[in-house]
């Protein structure tokens, strides 16, 4: 039976290929296909429904239903049996359609005469594009072989749809990849960008789904699988001494690559008329469909591994490689499921924007994107499925919105917004050499946050007075092995050179929490943000801390040096860290090396506990910098990485401002310099309120300096202070509404 179906489906596919190769117009091709299927399956009706928008299916061609219903009959997703197939992605095979659950009678088609119904989802890589239906008068259940043959045909139709085979004059439909799509995600770096899609991992296009020589296809498949196996073995060999988790993943890859079941299914697909790449893709599609259904995280990961492996196999078969920087389109916007910081750095500033399906605000990729000031939208739906290389795309990093293939009105509105931003930018540029002096004469020092060499040019272009926070861990994160001391010395020296005498506050390693070094043993902690991180790691692993401190001293080579310790929760930790610096200093003296001309040692105040430390701490510490991102998450017990609670509490909440004000007072009592370096420092309204309660130094991303300065120069801090005090006296939860209203009155 299988044999006869094999040759049947091969025959059918052979005829389909002729239809594909013909130069008939889109609609004519689709009509021919339904006719061919109807004939060879000896069934009275064959119809193709395709999505005309996200939740509407349109009858695009039919053999057997009334011709006038073509392009007239429409169904919503989930409506009728066809809608059910599209919604669930699962086939429906019933001898008595009118009694089946969800049946909806469509009089315009004349389908009431047909009893049996077989609907197969037209899918490509787990993405449903439409439904292929056969119906017949007699009440029959279609056999497993018929179902199989139709599944193969559905897949070919999916490929053809993707390739735009049905488009052209007399188009059967507007294919999905030509329609505008709006995606709402989250914002990870503000800014607007317009450009063209650059898929980090381009979709492989299978242009030859049908093959007439199964033996030749089998040889191609076997050869490609062999190449894949050799590649996986080579990777395993190379990672032998490496990370255990990476090894486990590779072991799984090897298991799949040698899986007899996987191979057998693909061989069967080829025997039924598919080309080698179409067979790989068919199995991949099915794995993806399963991936959408399993809830077990481990299983999902394994299916994802299989998905990745299939991609590799497709690349080998089609010769379509991974993107290389050389072929970037003009104004490239990177589109990816996710991306690592090192890969992102390789693209560097050539990118206009980034859109990710996954990612998080605090991820390393986001940190790099921010450092490079590239607008980044995360959690952007299925953007890698929707987008094709070269597509026109607009990224709104402020709203977390992505417009793919936008229509005219969106383009106009978006460009207006970009023009407004450019105008604002001009205004900021004109303020470059002016101080952030408020109307009532208070001068606020604006510094910038950095972490990569790539940030340093911004010191000049942003007008920052110095680097208020240099996140040294970024250099560790973007490598795959621990940097050597000599490398660190060279790097820190380059940073100081580039700063041309401006103050740079080097924060020692803040690893742990979300910042995991691939080359350090991972810690399985239930709450990493509150776990073994930052100074806790530094004090427990003095070797790394000493190496870093020593590198900084050698890089300073007689120049002033500022070192700051992250995440200090109590006085003792600061004392221990300071002692480590002193130890290094003594060593350098003993070795007769040049000492820093001036050495400042400070602490980041990121846990509420430090705000309540003995006054002696504030007397002793060289300076304090409030790490508002962490301080806020611990003050409100709201994870900064958790989209559900991240924005729940306002920075301008009176309780939080109360805490900041207390820190201001305690530092003032001791005469200790204080700054604020969390993200809020770069938000103009927040920055203005922080200044109003006494913060005199703010450190922020370079791009925020202009907007913050611009508002501060127009603000009367005394008046803002009164608004804040009144709001508190009234018992407001946040001072924001009162401040916004006042700003509105000021125009």
Name residues contacting ligand PEP, limited to 538-597 (CB under 6 A): none
- Among residues 82, 86, 664, 677, the one that binds ligand PEP under rule CB under 6 A: 677
* Closer of 83 and 627 to ligand PEP (Cβ): 627
Q: Which is nearer to ligand PEP, 352 or 640 (CB)?
A: 640
The C-alpha angle 44, 158, 390, rounded to 5 degrees, equals 150
606 is a contact residue toward ligand PEP (CB under 6 A): yes
The count of chain residues that interact with Mg ion, using the rule CB under 5 A, is 3
Round to whole Å and give the CA distance between 336 and 389.
11
8 A C-beta contact, residue 675 and residue 444: no
Three-state SS string over 618-671 comes to HHHCCCEEECHHHHHHHHCCCCCCCCCCCCCCCCCEHHHHHHHHHHHHHHHHHC
Should residue 391 be labelled a site residue for ligand PEP when binding is judged by CB under 6 A? no
Q: Which does 6 bind (CB under 5 to 8 A by kind): ligand PEP, Mg ion, none?
A: none
Q: Is 466 in the site for ligand PEP (CB under 6 A)?
A: no
* Smaller CB separation from ligand PEP, 486 or 662: 662
Residue placing its CB nearer to ligand PEP in the complex, 202 or 628: 628
Q: Does 678 bind ligand PEP (CB under 6 A)?
A: yes
Residues with catalytic function: 364, 677
> Strands, DSSP E only, in 156-236?
181-184, 186-189, 192-199
Query: Which of 46, 53, 94, 89 lies closest to 74, judged by CA?
Result: 53
CB of 557 to ligand PEP, least distance (A): 27
Least distance (Å) between residue 468 CB and Mg ion: 13
Size of the site for ligand PEP (CB under 6 A): 10
Which of 293, 609 has the CB closer to ligand PEP? 609
State which of positions 703-732 bind Mg ion (CB under 5 A): none
Minimum Å distance from CB 651 to Mg ion? 15
Site for ligand PEP in 201-230 (CB under 6 A): none
Beta bridge partners, 92, equal 119
Angle subtended by helix axes 244-257 and 214-238, to nearest 10: 160
- Closest CB 614 distance from ligand PEP, rounded Å: 23
The C-alpha atoms of residue 365 and residue 338 are separated, in whole angstroms, by: 8
- The closest of 182, 181, 166 to 71, measured between CA atoms, is 166
Stretch of 158-166, 392-400, 421-429, 628-636 lying at the interface with ligand PEP (CB under 6 A): 628-636
601 strand-pairing partners: 563
Complex with Mg ion: residue 269 or 606, whichever CB lies closer: 606
CA distance 593 to 589: 6
Give min distance, CB of 181 to ligand PEP, in A: 33
Which CB, 627 or 684, lies closer to ligand PEP?
A: 627
Specify the stretch interacting with ligand PEP by CB under 6 A; choose among 251-259, 353-361, 621-629, 723-731: 621-629
Whichever of 375 and 628 has its CB closer to ligand PEP, that residue is: 628
The binder of ligand PEP chosen from 111, 127, 159, 630 (CB under 6 A): 630
Nearest approach in angstroms of CB 735 to ligand PEP is 20
The residue among 439, 468, 323 whose CA lies nearest residue 389 is 323
Q: How far is CA 726 from CA 94, 659, 660, in A?
A: 71, 17, 18
Per-residue contact flags (x/-) with Mg ion for residues 609 to 638, judged by CB under 5 A = ------------------x--x--------
Q: Among ligand PEP, Mg ion, none, what binds residue 657 when CB lies within 5 to 8 Å by partner kind?
A: none
Q: How far apart are CA 467 and CA 501, in angstroms?
A: 11
194 binds, among ligand PEP, Mg ion, none (CB under 5 to 8 A by kind): none
CB of 451 to Mg ion, least distance (A): 12
Shortest separation between residue 676's beta carbon and ligand PEP, angstroms: 9
Q: What are phi and psi of 282, to 5 degrees?
A: -65, -45
Shortest Å, Cβ 532 to Mg ion? 15
Of 354 and 626, which CB lies nearer to ligand PEP in the complex structure?
626
3-class state of residue 677 by DSSP:
coil
In the bound state with Mg ion, the residue whose beta carbon lies nearer, of 83 and 627, is 627
Residue in 175, 397, 512, 628 binding ligand PEP, rule: CB under 6 A: 628
DSSP-H helix ranges across 171-296: 214-238, 244-257, 260-271, 276-291
Residue 618's alpha-carbon distances to 505, 508, 536, 629, 660, in angstroms, are 18, 20, 20, 21, 14
Q: Are 570 and 610 in contact (CB under 8 A)?
A: yes
Among 126, 175, 627, 682, binds ligand PEP (CB under 6 A): 627
Residue 127 contact among Mg ion, ligand PEP, none, beta carbon within 5 to 8 Å by kind? none
The Cα-based distances of 644 to 190, 365, 640, 648 in angstroms read 20, 21, 10, 8
Which CB atom, from 6 or from 510, has the smaller least distance to ligand PEP?
Answer: 510
Please answer whether residues 149 and 8 qualify as being in contact, where contact means their C-beta atoms are separated by less than 8 angstroms.
Answer: yes
In the list ligand PEP, Mg ion, none, the entry touching 58 (Cβ below 5 to 8 angstroms by class) is none
Least distance from C-beta 629 to Mg ion, angstroms? Answer: 5
Binding range to Mg ion, per CB under 5 A, among 74-82, 134-142, 601-609, 715-723: 601-609
Closest distance between Mg ion and the C-beta of residue 155, in Å? 50
Binding piece for Mg ion, criterion CB under 5 A, among 82-90, 167-175, 286-294, 603-611? 603-611
Closest approach, Cβ 392 to ligand PEP, in A, equals 34
Measured in degrees and rounded to the nearest 5, phi and psi for residue 77 equal: -55, 125
Find the length of the chain.
747
Longest CA–CA separation in the chain, Å: 99
Work out which of 471, 533, 666, 709 binds ligand PEP, going by CB under 6 A: 471
Q: Which stretch binds Mg ion (CB under 5 A): 39-47, 58-66, 545-553, 599-607?
A: 599-607
Residue 195 or residue 468: which is nearer to ligand PEP going by CB? 468
132 touches, from Mg ion, ligand PEP, none (C-beta below 5 to 8 Å by class): none
Q: Which does 678 bind (CB under 5 to 8 A by kind): Mg ion, ligand PEP, none?
A: ligand PEP
471 binds, among Mg ion, ligand PEP, none (CB under 5 to 8 A by kind): ligand PEP
Task: Show the 3-state SS of 34-96.
Answer: HHHHHHHCCCCEEEEEEEEECCEEEEEEEECCCHHHCCCCEEECCCHHHHHHHHHCCCEEECC
Given the rule CB under 6 A, which of 93-101, 299-307, 578-586, 625-633 is the region that contacts ligand PEP?
A: 625-633
Please state, in angstroms and rounded to a whole number, the distance separating the CA atoms of residues 280 and 330.
33
Of 268, 209, 219, 260, nearest to 3 (Cα)?
268
Tell which positions 485-514 bind ligand PEP, by CB under 6 A: 510
Angle (deg, nearest 10), helices 628-635 and 654-670: 130
Nearer to ligand PEP, 9 or 607 (CB): 607
Phi and psi torsions of 223, nearest 5°: -60, -45
Work out which of 35, 239, 518, 629 binds ligand PEP, going by CB under 6 A. Answer: 629
Task: Report the C-alpha gap between 314 and 308 in whole angstroms.
Answer: 10
C-alpha pair distances (Å), 64 with each of 18, 114, 594: 22, 10, 90
Nearest distance, CB of residue 628 and Mg ion, angstroms: 8
Phi-psi region of 621 (alpha: psi -120 to 50; beta: other; left: phi over 0): beta
Say if CB 370 and CB 454 are below 8 A apart. no
Residue 679 interacts with Mg ion (CB under 5 A): yes or no? no
Residues that bind Mg ion (CB under 5 A): 606, 627, 630
Residues that bind ligand PEP (CB under 6 A): 469, 471, 510, 606, 627-630, 677-678
């Amino acid at each position: 039976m299988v044999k006869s179906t094999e040759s049947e489906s091969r025959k059918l596919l052979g005829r389909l290929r002729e239809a594909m190769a013909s130069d008939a117009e889109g609609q004519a091709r689709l009509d021919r296909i339904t006719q061919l299927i109807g004939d060879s399956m000896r069934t009275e009706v064959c119809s193709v429904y395709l999505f005309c928008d996200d939740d509407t299916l349109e009858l695009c061609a039919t053999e057997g239903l009334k011709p006038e219903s073509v392009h007239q009959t429409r169904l919503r997703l989930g409506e009728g049996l066809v809608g059910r197939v599209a919604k669930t992605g699962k086939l429906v095979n019933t001898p008595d359609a009118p009694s089946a659950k969800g049946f909806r009678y469509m009089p315009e088609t004349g389908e009431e005469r047909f009893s049996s119904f077989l609907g197969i989802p037209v899918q490509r890589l787990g993405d449903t594009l439409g439904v292929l239906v056969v119906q017949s008068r007699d009440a029959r259940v279609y056999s497993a072989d018929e179902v199989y043959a139709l599944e193969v045909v559905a897949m070919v139709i999916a490929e053809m749809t993707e390739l735009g085979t049905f488009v052209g004059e007399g188009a059967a439909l507007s294919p999905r990849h030509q329609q505008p799509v709006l995606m709402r995600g989250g914002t990870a770096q503000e800014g607007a960008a317009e450009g063209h899609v650059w898929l980090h991992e381009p979709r492989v296009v299978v242009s030859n789904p049908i093959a007439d020589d199964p033996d030749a296809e089998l040889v191609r498949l076997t050869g490609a699988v062999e190449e894949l196996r050799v590649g996986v073995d080579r990777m395993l060999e190379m990672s032998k001494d490496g990370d255990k988790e990476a090894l486990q993943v590779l072991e799984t890859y090897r298991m799949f690559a040698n899986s007899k079941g996987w191979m057998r299914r693909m061989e069967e697909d080829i025997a039924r008329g598919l080309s080698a790449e179409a067979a790989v893709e068919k199995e991949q599609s099915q794995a993806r469909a399963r991936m959408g259904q399993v809830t077990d995280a481990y299983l999902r990961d394994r299916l994802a591994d299989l998905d990745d492996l299939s991609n590799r196999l497709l690349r080998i078969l089609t010769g379509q490689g991974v993107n290389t920087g050389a072929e970037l389109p003009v104004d490239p916007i990177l589109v990816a499921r996710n991306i690592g910081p090192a890969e992102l750095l390789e693209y560097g500033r050539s990118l206009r924007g980034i859109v990710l399906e996954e990612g998080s605000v605090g991820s390393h990729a986001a940190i790099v994107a921010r450092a490079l000031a590239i607008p980044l939208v995360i959690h952007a739906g299925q953007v890698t499925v929707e987008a094709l290389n070269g597509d026109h795309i607009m990224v709104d990093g402020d709203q977390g919105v992505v417009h793919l293939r936008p229509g005219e009105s969106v383009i106009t509105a978006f460009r207006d917004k970009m023009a407004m931003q450019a105008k604002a930018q001009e205004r900021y540029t004109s303020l470059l050499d002016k101080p952030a002096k408020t109307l009532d004469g208070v001068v606020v020092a604006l510094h910038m946050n950095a972490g990569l060499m790539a940030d340093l040019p911004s010191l000049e272009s942003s007008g920052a007075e110095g680097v208020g926070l240099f996140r040294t861990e970024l250099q560790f994160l973007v490598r795959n092995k621990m940097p050597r001391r000599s490398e660190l010395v060279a790097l820190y020296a380059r940073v100081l050179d580039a700063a041309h005498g401006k103050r740079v506050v080097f924060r020692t390693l803040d690893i742990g929490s979300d910042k995991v070094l691939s080359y350090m043993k991972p810690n399985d902690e239930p709450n990493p943000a509150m776990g073994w991180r930052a100074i806790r790691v530094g004090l427990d692993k003095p070797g790394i801390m000493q190496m870093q401190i020593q590198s900084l001293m050698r890089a300073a080579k007689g120049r002033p040096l500022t070192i700051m310790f992250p995440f200090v929760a109590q006085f003792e930790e600061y004392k221990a860290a300071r002692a480590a610096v002193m130890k290094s200093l003594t060593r350098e003296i003993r070795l007769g090396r040049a000492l820093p001309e001036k050495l400042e040692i400070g602490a980041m105040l990121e846990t509420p506990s430090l705000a309540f430390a003995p006054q002696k701490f504030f007397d002793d510490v060289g300076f304090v910098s409030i790490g508002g991102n962490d301080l806020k998450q611990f003050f409100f017990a709201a994870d900064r990485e958790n989209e559900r609670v991240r924005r729940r509490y306002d920075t301008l909440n009176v309780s939080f401002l109360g805490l900041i004000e207390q820190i201001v007072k305690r530092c003032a009592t001791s005469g200790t310099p204080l700054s604020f370096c969390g993200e809020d420092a770069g938000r103009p309204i927040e920055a203005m309120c922080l200044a109003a309660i006494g913060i005199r130094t703010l450190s922020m991303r370079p791009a925020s300096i202009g907007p913050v300065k611009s508002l501060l120069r127009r603000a009367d801090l005394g008046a803002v202070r009164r608004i804040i005090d009144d709001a508190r006296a009234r018992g407001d939860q946040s001072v924001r509404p009162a401040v916004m209203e006042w700003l509105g009155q000021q125009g």
